[in-house]
Amino acid sequence: MSIRNDILDSLCTNLEGIKQDNGYNTTVRKVERYPIPMDNPSELMPHIFVSEGQEEKINEDETNIGFRLSVALNLFMKGQSVSGLCSDIVGFIDDVKKMIYGPISLGDYCLAVNWIDSDQDVSEIQAMARAGIAIEIIYYAPKASF
Amino acid sequence: MTEIYGTDKATFEDAKDKLLAKLNALITVMASGYDPKLSYACDHHDKVPIQLNGASIQFASCKIIEEGLGEGVTYQYQIAYSLRVHTAYQGQYFDANKTMRLMNSIDNYLHEERDLENDYDVWDIDDFALGQDFKESATKGGSMTITIRRFQEHIKP
């Protein structure tokens, strides 16, 4: 049992729900917790690579420990034109905002998911756009669960 | 195991239990028809997690006034408890009005229910503060101080 793994898997499952059919701007084709090759076939774009950052212990009581886990969401998409990609990647970022403030539910142990910041860039040569979104997950775990 | 030497004079613990009981009674009173309502109460601030909207109390300080001499010495204990109202987790939207209303509800209820029985009563409620960031619980909210009074006799030396 790993509460942290469960929360991250649940985050991936939620991100997989970003589809135009569900009212989003983008239809995500792949979400993974490991880097996806940049020469990923176009049919697997757009994709999101979820990477874990620092985990900080923020509080503790007799039975539980609270953590703040930094998570980076790396969004990739391909397009036909740079101008189209510039607006599409913003739409993709907005999709993640919409999902987080739905509000998102990552299980009983997750107390809060907070947006921190984002950045983006568009590659003219590869006709590819990338965005990096930093979020934090506040969660707790019983000491007995480790 | 006995927790406190002098079990008939576990004043700080008893006062805390009585205050917590009042908060739990307020949860029942506010269960329907109130928005915001209090949903959770606990007797220490270092609690993980604290369910929102929640309140936590913790012993803060005690002022003791000598009242008189009889077979023993009677003291007036003015026991201050820090009360925190938790309405949001860190990094999330802090609703100042919701927090203010909850603090107002707690204040009104404790004034109505001043008598805590067994010679304990709510003596004072003050030090209201909004916009607090509570590191121990990773929450945000407001705080206030509840002072409970009790007369306690100790054996004359």
Contact (CB, 8 A) for A58 and B135: yes
Percentage above 90 pLDDT, chain A: 85
Q: Comparing B157 with A109, which gets the higher pLDDT?
A: A109
Which of A88-97, B4-13, B46-55 has the least mean pLDDT?
Answer: B4-13
Cβ of B46 within 8 Å of Cβ of A111? The answer is no
Q: What is the rounded distance in angstroms from the CA atom of residue B155 to the CA atom of residue B75?
A: 11
B51/A contact by beta carbon, under 8 A: no
Higher-pLDDT residue of B132, A39: B132
Q: Do B48 and A68 touch (CB under 8 A)?
A: no
Contact B92 A112 (CB under 8 A): yes
**Separation between Cα atoms, residue B133 and residue A85, nearest integer Å:** 40
Distance from CA of B106 to the nearest CA of A (A): 25
pLDDT value of position B146 = 98
**What string of DSSP letters covers A51-85?**
EEEEEEEEEE-SSEEEEEEEEEEEEEEE-S-HHHH
Taking contacts as CB-CB distances below 8 angstroms, the residues of chain A near B46 are 59-61
Nearest chain A residue to B46 by CA: give it.
Answer: A61
User: With 90 as the cut, is the pLDDT of residue B8 above it?
Assistant: no
Return the H-helix or E-strand segment holding B155.
Answer: strand B139-155
The greatest distance separating any two alpha carbons of chain A, rounded to the nearest whole angstrom, comes to 56
The answer to whether A68 contacts B92, with C-beta atoms less than 8 Å apart, is no
Q: What is the pLDDT along chain A (146 residues), one digit of tens a residue?
A: 899 999 999 999 999 999 999 999 999 999 999 988 777 777 788 999 999 999 999 999 999 999 999 999 999 999 888 889 999 999 999 999 999 999 999 999 999 999 999 999 998 887 899 999 999 999 999 999 99
Phi (first) and psi of residue A121, to 5 degrees: -155, 155
Which residue is closest to A68 within chain B, CA to CA? B138
- Chain B interface test: which of A7, A59, A71 (most B C-beta within 10 Å): A59
Closest chain A residue to the Cα of B91, Cα to Cα: A114
Cβ-based contacts of A68 with chain B (< 8 Å) = 138
Low-confidence winner among B7-11, B57-61, B121-125 (lowest mean pLDDT): B7-11
| pLDDT at residue number A82 | 86
Test B91 with A61 for CB contact under 8 angstroms: no
Phi, psi of B137 (to 5 degrees): -120, 0
pLDDT confidence band for B6 (50 / 70 / 90): confident
B47/A138 Cβ within 8 A = no
Q: How far is CA A49 from CA A103, A121, B81, in A?
A: 21, 16, 48
pTM of the complete model beyond 0.95: no
- Candidates B48, B93, B133, B137: best to mutate against A (most CBs of A within 10 A) is B48
pLDDT of amino acid B9: 86
**What value of ipTM does the predicted structure carry?**
0.86
Tell me what pLDDT residue A83 has. 86
Cβ proximity of A18 and A95 under 8 Å? yes
The residue that leads in pLDDT, A113 or B8, is A113
Which residue matches tokens 């067994």?
B118
Higher pLDDT, B136 or A41: B136
Residue B10 confidence (pLDDT): 92
Separation CA A36–CA A31 (nearest Å): 9
Map residue B72 onto helix, strand or coil.
Answer: strand
Cis bond leading into A103, ω under 30°? yes
Q: What is the pLDDT of residue A73?
A: 98
Q: Dump pLDDT digits (tens) for B70-117.
A: 788 999 999 999 999 999 999 999 999 999 999 999 999 999 999 999
Q: Flag if B91 and A136 touch (Cβ within 8 Å).
A: yes
